[in-house]
Structure 1
């Protein structure tokens, strides 16, 4: 008799609770402070490589005659959990608590450090602010020296001051987002810049950090001693100016010859101290994407109908169309590059899997050969256009952090006649040559296109008449007075596709798919395309930024022969269309994440295995699988993509 193993029963967690990352059992109250603490715990284990066995949460520490509980204590290796064995003390607060607060600010951390006789390091953070200290004892007196960061597990003090390449932390948690926000706010508060201006200065620093990671020696660092003196700060500025000169030479389309790092030496030195321990190139794609988009979104949202596409919608569209290596991928309204990055990483994952198989799971050889293929693919097959030059610049940065492909991004008006595009963009031969398009074009009657030289290019820029007898729309010779941009983008996207094989995933307002007066748009679309799928998106998809009801439409361009045959026969070919409703999108109208619940309202958790960088007893870093419990996001976009691929296989 054969027995089939049953899947493990789901773990349930009470509403308003979250599971402690260290023991995986304790249910803690889901508060802003607890969110910060759990993210810092993930960072200490996954990025700083402290073993969970060395970590205690809410450990009692005697302060005078009473005992209070420190948020996080990390103990010395091979020592029992006792106050006298504490090596690192971490205190976490919500972002409402300031570091200067007399009761809960950094002074609270210092009191814990004083009470732990052998503690060496401490960290205080509210997610936005972060301060690290080294406890010094001289002549029986305790003092605190502010340092750039606490050490990685097994790291020597000198290395903590100037990290080695193999000691840089690959971000796996929201700690990187905290660092970006912290730097952005610090520039705004201490440099006298508005937040959008502060963003561009932070952008320069991120470029310098990546440039440094691609060089032979680390120059993106500062020591505690350098931070304390003007001379030391000037030394740091000299190193960063040299790095930025190299950045400017490598990215002339982003930075002008006159551009420099316009930050005061003490401000610059602080920012370097907050970023120097991370490896942006090695960090998880989703983690750094989320961190970067948080900063971009708060600074670059324009007044041209720009609302950035949620990553789960991007991932769903990419999984549905399944782009391949060698296929030209385009977004004619790329914004911050969400679709392009999702599509590029989808193909890169295919390349890495293929090389791993070819080299019989020899990861070193596979990565060497994959790197060359990825570089060629990203340079040749990724193209993005956007009218907003600032968004293009920000997208180039995003692409550089995510395997590159920045060379295919252009500032251009996609709706203009392609003959009016810049020479290097025209040389791409886009009209009729694109394999896959992903796009969320700008919407709205508040953004009318009324330039007749633009409208006259398009069938949909003309007026149409409806014939009730034939139930057909016919184009006239007259131009519309104006058109919303999304209608013209439909035709532009279809004209860009390769006839017969080119496919597109387009986010469109539902009015286009159902409003009686827009029947001519649907007529044109069905004449020129085969409809593959229509996914009705949840009303909260773009919340909390904007309320708009949308659908994701997947189409494939017909050939001129197919169009002519259908016209001659007087009827269109009949075929099946995939339909779905994305009624669970993982967040509510306020942007808060939503999770799967059981019939009693408990949130369901499931085991998730990830490859995580950890250190052994000697401090050597390696990748090992780790399983942890995570709440199940109430999001069915991935299932929709899987169902579509199966449907497509069944109907091919």
Structure 2
């Protein structure tokens, strides 16, 4: 490994993620000048030498690395000569003097054309500071960049710097040339979508008077539709873009048309009357930031983090909604080993993480695109009571490659709320269990209490209590030991019973639960109910940091296999009295105490990649999954053969 890569690994936790917007990190040259002190030569008219890392103190200069990488783009890609680039130019604000990180001049060497404000990846782009530099120097274009994302502002003269561009003009171009360029699928890039959304909130959404989540999702679906349609257009041309005229009203007309077509394509996501509520000016700013970001086929980890950020923290806390970390999901999927003709459901699907990872797991064994589409559109099901969560999960499934999905906005706990479409699709695929006894069967066809899914993966909401008598009356766990209806029951307890009813005899479950279920004496009746209905395959205790920064609640995952008919006596009691259970506790956390992900690195400090090319979390959950599979095969578990 060369000096540049070694030094980047010391400055950044994960260089490729922290510097996502740069294609090739090897284009800069870091060298050791004095012992343990590392430098880089800037590409500018002064050829400044900048110190970027001190091995003795361990102090690095991540902001300087971002600046040098952007200087490479300015000179190599946009063709600006270094003689027209100045670093740390003094900008006067009355008596106060500040320094602009990069200034690019017009050919006269005097008139500023572009001003670039640089931040480290862990810092948010300072839009207001950039605007102040632009106004002071009179430059028409400004860039705020932090390595993960960048914002480009321009002045639609005579207005202020309140609009965005998707790119900066090259050395021989002006703003009008950038606006006039046609865009194709090949022009899309993979950006940190969460950083882009944060920028949009600061620029317009927070002050637009409209719900940020709703407006962002309308634009995301319009863009998804455009990327999908571009596949069949000449040259794969994109329409989701700012108008070449630069007029906000024309941009709004284009995006409104795409949104109407997206609503028709995915009619179960939006109401027919839904409209984009942003003003033409605000919409133009958002489109300028989003138009070059790739959605279809993008890294799901990046998309996931952006969508979770969009869910308000207040709502997540009140409802106990916390997206399951993907490394936890991977362990669950590997341990339950879904097959290509098994129906999978998540009864609290959130961002569809369990469904997407089950899909990707099965896809590895499906050779054709048609087979993959058939599996995704037929065998994967999700329910969530929160409208925003269902929009997220549908979008994630679309981005992951599933054109159609069985994602329903409803309560898993109350079948009376289920839509006719949901009920009919269950019936069409024979997912409602049938019974020999006429009355039992008639009752089940009406109530849909017992369903026939093969696998259930879920992280039900922990917060909240159910007090509705009509709902509690439907559940065994809604009553106390004497059979009397309780006044209230914690929501996740009813989810345990409901989840068991969703799965057919012999079906498998993995459910995330609070630790108290497993060791509190007051929860013994819950444990007895579980053992009455299913064999406990495994219990895996998760590290306390797993759901940080949202919550420090201690959790475990219980893995179950519902008793087969031959395992029960005439009264429905299990005949197997004693059996081995796999227990494991996660020791290596994939998050630090602040909730930031920790990635695995090799001996040289390089981030280790998984088989899909994604950075690998530092975790022992994959070892736990492998140990369970080996143990399960020894035990003769049928689904692991």
The normalised TM-score by structure 1 is: 0.73
In the alignment, structure 1 residue 486 sits paired with structure 2 residue 492: yes
Conserved 8 A contact 1:177-1:291: yes
Other structure's SS at 2:6 match: coil
The one-character-per-residue Cα deviations of 1:390-433 (angstroms, maximum 9, x if unpaired) are 322232222222223663111222112x3553222223135331
Deviates further, 183-192 or 272-281: 183-192
Please, what is the CA RMSD of the aligned residues?
Answer: 4.2
Residues 541 and 67 from structure 1, CA distance in 2 versus in 1: closer, same or farther, beyond 3 angstroms? closer
The structure 1 residue matched to 2:457, chosen from 438, 454, 467, is 438
The structure 2 residue matched to 1:548, chosen from 536, 546, 553, is 553
| Structure 1: distance between partners of 2:534 and 2:17 | 47
In the alignment, structure 1 residue 219 sits paired with structure 2 residue 239: yes
Residues 52 and 562 from structure 1, CA distance in 2 versus in 1: closer, same or farther, beyond 3 angstroms? same
Other structure's SS at 1:214 match: helix
Residues 581 and 564 from structure 1, CA distance in 2 versus in 1: closer, same or farther, beyond 3 angstroms? same
The one-character-per-residue Cα deviations of 1:561-602 (angstroms, maximum 9, x if unpaired) are 31217978x96343222111112231123112335699xxx9
| Structure 1: distance between partners of 2:559 and 2:14 | 40
Shift of 1:202: 0.8
In the alignment, structure 1 residue 24 sits paired with structure 2 residue 8: no
Residues 28 and 252 from structure 1, CA distance in 2 versus in 1: closer, same or farther, beyond 3 angstroms? closer
Conserved 8 A contact 2:546-2:595: no
Partner of residue 195, structure 2: 178
Q: Unaligned stretches of 5+ in structure 2?
A: 31-38, 51-63, 86-103, 105-113, 156-162, 433-449, 637-641
| Structure 2: distance between partners of 1:305 and 1:373 | 36
Partner of residue 365, structure 1: none
| Structure 1: distance between partners of 2:610 and 2:531 | 44
The structure 1 residue matched to 2:330, chosen from 285, 306, 315, is 315
Partner of residue 641, structure 1: 625
Shift of 1:522: 1.2
The one-character-per-residue Cα deviations of 1:206-229 (angstroms, maximum 9, x if unpaired) are 111111111124211126x633xx
| Structure 2: distance between partners of 1:381 and 1:85 | 59
Partner of residue 4, structure 1: none
Partner of residue 513, structure 1: 518
Q: Which has the higher contact order (CA 8 A, sep 6+)?
A: 1
| Structure 1: distance between partners of 2:145 and 2:134 | 9
Partner of residue 127, structure 2: 99
Partner of residue 204, structure 1: 218
The structure 1 residue matched to 2:568, chosen from 563, 566, 573, is 563
| Structure 2: distance between partners of 1:40 and 1:477 | 57
Deviates further, 528-537 or 389-398: 389-398
Conserved 8 A contact 1:331-1:339: yes
Residues 168 and 575 from structure 1, CA distance in 2 versus in 1: closer, same or farther, beyond 3 angstroms? farther
Residues 249 and 64 from structure 1, CA distance in 2 versus in 1: closer, same or farther, beyond 3 angstroms? same
Shift of 1:278: 2.5
Partner of residue 542, structure 2: 537
Shift of 1:318: 1.4
Shift of 1:310: 1.9
| Structure 2: distance between partners of 1:267 and 1:134 | 14
Partner of residue 440, structure 2: none
Conserved 8 A contact 1:201-1:262: yes
Shift of 1:607: 5.0
Aligned residues: 546
Other structure's SS at 1:26 match: helix
Shift of 1:330: 0.7
Other structure's SS at 2:483 match: strand
Residues 414 and 102 from structure 1, CA distance in 2 versus in 1: closer, same or farther, beyond 3 angstroms? closer
The one-character-per-residue Cα deviations of 1:62-102 (angstroms, maximum 9, x if unpaired) are 67898777533226569999935989996521435623437
Other structure's SS at 2:492 match: helix
Conserved 8 A contact 2:344-2:355: yes
| Structure 2: distance between partners of 1:321 and 1:297 | 32
In the alignment, structure 1 residue 400 sits paired with structure 2 residue 406: no
Other structure's SS at 2:584 match: strand
The structure 1 residue matched to 2:413, chosen from 399, 412, 415, is 415
Other structure's SS at 1:25 match: helix
The structure 1 residue matched to 2:592, chosen from 558, 578, 588, is 588
Conserved 8 A contact 1:220-1:239: yes
Partner of residue 388, structure 1: 386
| Structure 2: distance between partners of 1:109 and 1:282 | 41
Conserved 8 A contact 1:595-1:603: no
In the alignment, structure 1 residue 498 sits paired with structure 2 residue 504: yes
| Structure 2: distance between partners of 1:62 and 1:535 | 55
Aligned counterparts, 1:111-510, within 5 A: 123-126=143-146, 130-132=150-152, 147-150=165-168, 161-171=180-190, 175-193=192-210, 197-215=211-229, 216=233, 217-222=237-242, 226-227=245-246, 232-296=247-311, 298=313, 300-301=315-316, 303-351=318-366, 355=367, 369-370=368-369, 372-404=370-402, 407-416=405-414, 418=415, 421-427=418-424, 428=426, 429-430=431-432, 431-444=450-463, 447-464=464-481, 476-500=482-506, 502-510=507-515
Other structure's SS at 2:484 match: strand
| Structure 2: distance between partners of 1:190 and 1:260 | 18
Other structure's SS at 2:311 match: helix
The structure 1 residue matched to 2:72, chosen from 71, 74, 83, is 74
Conserved 8 A contact 2:533-2:562: yes
Shift of 1:40: 6.8
Other structure's SS at 1:508 match: strand
Shift of 1:480: 2.4
Shift of 1:534: 0.5
Conserved 8 A contact 2:297-2:401: no
Conserved 8 A contact 1:318-1:342: yes
Residues 342 and 66 from structure 1, CA distance in 2 versus in 1: closer, same or farther, beyond 3 angstroms? closer
Conserved 8 A contact 1:124-1:131: yes
Residues 597 and 240 from structure 1, CA distance in 2 versus in 1: closer, same or farther, beyond 3 angstroms? closer
Residues 164 and 130 from structure 1, CA distance in 2 versus in 1: closer, same or farther, beyond 3 angstroms? closer
| Structure 2: distance between partners of 1:544 and 1:375 | 36
The one-character-per-residue Cα deviations of 1:498-545 (angstroms, maximum 9, x if unpaired) are 102x10000111111111122121112112111111001112221111
Deviates further, 35-44 or 448-457: 35-44
Shift of 1:549: 1.3
Shift of 1:644: 1.7
Q: Unaligned stretches of 5+ in structure 1?
A: 1-10, 12-18, 114-120, 136-144, 356-368, 465-475, 613-627
Conserved 8 A contact 1:97-1:105: no
